[in-house]
Amino acid sequence: MRRVVTGHDTQGRSVVVSDGTPPRTHHFTGWPGFVSSLAWSTEGSTPVSPSGEDPTDKVETLIPAPGSTRLILLTLPPDSTMARPDFDGPTYGAEQATHSPGLAETFEADGMHLTPTIDYVFVVRGEVYLRLDDGAEARLQAGDVLVQNATHHGWSNRSDEPAELACVLIGATTDR
């Protein structure tokens, strides 16, 4: 996805300071077609950066602290691509550890995971299934939004096309 960031020039006028692919975008070789981008982040009550300075280079974990945020853009290839010869599970796992610090450690073997966050997940293109503990599933299509309250969940793309998601993670405190 394309990311456009605004800021201010020396006269205080609004300007575009960045336009293009988010700098922390990774196209996974272990799972061809899987793409993850950290598009933006905030820390606590971070003030607006007048210059539009990119905070993503300083992010050490994709799990935001309470009150902080992460904007993560994902392209999920069809589940069937995991059965192809070019799927390399160990390489994919190593890439997740490197490019999704904090988040990668939450994943279980079946893809289920839990984070202490409230997530707003927007399906931009395609469709995905949200899987939950009780076996319930919700089919989400382009234009749908999910509000996820620190729930144990997983994703499944059962279609023949990639799905694109925009995920806003808001760090929360939980009683779990």
pLDDT computed for residue 176 by the predictor: 62
Q: Which stretches in the chain have pLDDT values below 50? A: none
Residue spans per domain, the chain: 22-171
Interatomic CA distance for residues 171 and 64, integer angstroms = 5
Residue 131 φ then ψ, to 5°: -110, 140
Interatomic CA distance for residues 108 and 128, integer angstroms = 19
What fold does the segment set 22-171 form as a domain?
A: Jelly Rolls (2.60.120)
73: its two tokens? 């853009």
pLDDT computed for residue 50 by the predictor: 64
